Structures are given as structure tokens and as C-alpha cells.
């Protein structure tokens, strides 16, 4: 979690909350489930009554727009929580969650989470900060759509990935499990062709290297200069 935006997890043992079986506490309230690549964890209009914690794998959160166009809201990985809007809504899901690879999650009913709030103030803090962080991220994405051009949004996204998911290797930064060009397009509100053009240009300039397994950023400062003012 060193490079994750989920910095507030550092002092909270959420594994104990979401995976009590592993902590030998209230195992009857704990469900673990493995989802295959491409399998939906939940769909729009599913009842919103559960919260999920990722043990391993990756999960894509999104919704469908006009003509069933996929709109990706987030790509989450090990140690992250999703489905948290169940805590403030008794209705149905407005988005979907799908496994991007084989993924194991811990599933907790929101009723059990709310019961823990009475005795665990740090759990309340966790969810307050989780809501706050995701609101800020959404505001930043909306601001990016209004004020930044396509190339800048793509470069900004690469730098954001490096900050959240990257590993430093000398002066370079490696992001493993790189996304497809279409997924990047869906996250940045651009086209797959534009993403391909920008990535190839950055590679030709020697700023990045990439394949389906990883992204290598040679110098984040130099890459940031590629964003249009």
C-alpha cells in the first residue's frame, strides 16, 4: 500500500474488519468469494446491501452510458474497498463491479459494518475518509474533463497511476498490470485511437515503455512537461 492513495489505511487493520475469519473473530459473518476474469461482482439495479474488500486481483467499477458505452469510474486492486455506497443507500446499485482477472474478495453485509461503528471509531474514520477521497477524485476528473485537452488527460492519468500504483526502480517508475488502451480511453473520456497515438508518441520520445503487462516511466518530471498548459 506504500504508493496507494488509500493512505488512511496505514493505522487501521481493515483486514480484521472485512475478513474476520482470518482474524478468528466472528467467522460466521464472513464470506470469501473468488470471481473469474470477466465475471460481474454486482450489476446496476442489484440490491445495495454489501461491501467488498479485495484480497487479490483487480476490480473495475463503472456504469453504462448511451448505446451501452462503458464509463469506467475506478480500477481497484488488493487492499481496497468498494461498494461502500451501500452504507448510505437502501436502494439499488447504480454502477457495476467486474473482475479484471481472477479476484478474491471478502464480502460483509452493511448491517454488520454499521454494528461495528458503535465500538470502533477508527472504522467510522476509515469510511468518512474513503468517501471524502473518492469525492475529491471524482471532482478532479470532472475538472480535468472541463479544463484539459485529451493529450493532457492521458499524460495526467499516467502520472496518477505512477503515483498510486507505481514502484520506484532507480530513477524510473514501474506500474505493473497496465491497462488496455480502451480502458484508458474510458477512464480519460478520450478515444482508443487517441490513447494509442499519445502513448506511441511518448514511447518514441523515450519517456515511457509499455506492453500489456507493465508501464515503465523513465522520468516523471520530464513526462509532466508533456502536458499542454
In this structure, what CATH number is given to the domain that contains residue 17? 2.60.120.10
**Which domain covers residue 108, as residue numbers?**
7-145
Contact 167, 1 (CB under 8 A): no
Residue 28's pLDDT band, with cuts at 50, 70 and 90, is low
- Selected residue with higher pLDDT from 122 and 151: 151
Which of 145, 175, 200 marks a domain boundary? 145
165 and 213 co-located in one domain: yes
152 and 106 co-located in one domain: no
The pLDDT of residue 87: 86
The pLDDT of residue 68: 77
127 and 34 co-located in one domain: yes
The pLDDT of residue 207: 94
Which of 78, 113, 145 marks a domain boundary? 145
Residue 84 lies in a domain: yes
- On whether the pTM is more than 0.95, the answer is no
50 and 123 co-located in one domain: yes
The pLDDT of residue 111: 84
Rg of the chain (C-alpha set): 19
* Closest CA relative to residue 79, chosen from 164, 128, 9: 9
DSSP letter for each residue of 23-60: TTS-GGG-EEEEE-TT-EEE-TTSB--EEEEEEESEEE
Q: What percent of the chain has pLDDT over 90?
A: 39
Which of 145, 172, 199 marks a domain boundary? 145
- What is the average pLDDT value for the chain, to the nearest integer? 83
The pLDDT of residue 10: 41
Measured distance CA(17)–CA(26) in Å, rounded: 10
95 and 193 co-located in one domain: no
- DSSP-derived secondary structure letter, 179: P
Mean per-residue pLDDT, 133-143: 82
90 and 55 co-located in one domain: yes
Does residue 32 register a pLDDT over 90? no
Condensed to tens digits (0 to 9), the pLDDT of residues 171-203 reads 899 999 899 999 999 999 899 999 999 999 999
Amino acid at each position: 500500500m506504500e504508493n496507494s492513495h488509500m493512505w488512511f489505511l496505514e493505522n487501521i487493520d481493515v483486514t480484521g474488519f472485512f475478513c474476520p475469519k482470518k482474524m478468528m473473530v466472528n467467522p460466521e459473518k464472513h464470506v470469501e468469494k473468488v470471481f473469474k476474469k470477466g465475471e460481474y461482482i454486482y450489476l446496476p439495479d442489484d440490491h445495495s446491501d454489501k461491501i467488498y474488500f479485495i484480497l487479490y486481483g483487480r476490480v473495475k467499477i463503472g456504469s453504462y452510458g448511451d448505446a451501452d458505452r462503458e464509463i469506467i469510474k475506478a480500477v481497484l486492486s488488493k487492499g481496497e474497498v468498494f461498494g461502500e455506497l451501500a452504507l448510505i443507500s437502501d436502494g439499488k446499485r447504480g454502477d457495476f463491479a467486474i473482475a479484471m482477472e481472477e479476484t478474491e474478495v471478502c464480502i460483509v453485509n452493511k448491517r454488520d459494518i454499521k454494528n461495528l461503528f458503535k465500538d470502533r471509531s477508527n472504522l467510522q474514520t476509515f469510511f468518512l475518509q474513503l468517501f471524502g477521497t473518492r469525492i475529491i477524485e471524482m471532482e478532479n476528473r470532472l475538472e480535468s474533463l472541463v479544463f484539459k485537452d485529451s493529450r493532457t488527460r492521458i499524460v495526467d492519468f499516467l502520472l496518477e497511476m505512477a503515483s498510486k500504483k507505481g514502484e520506484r526502480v532507480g530513477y524510473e517508475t514501474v506500474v505493473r498490470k497496465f491497462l488496455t488502451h480502451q480502458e484508458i480511453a474510458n477512464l480519460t473520456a478520450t478515444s482508443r485511437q487517441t490513447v494509442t497515438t499519445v502513448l506511441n508518441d511518448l514511447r518514441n520520445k523515450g519517456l515511457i515503455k509499455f506492453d500489456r503487462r507493465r508501464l515503465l516511466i523513465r522520468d516523471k518530471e520530464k513526462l509532466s512537461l508533456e502536458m499542454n498548459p
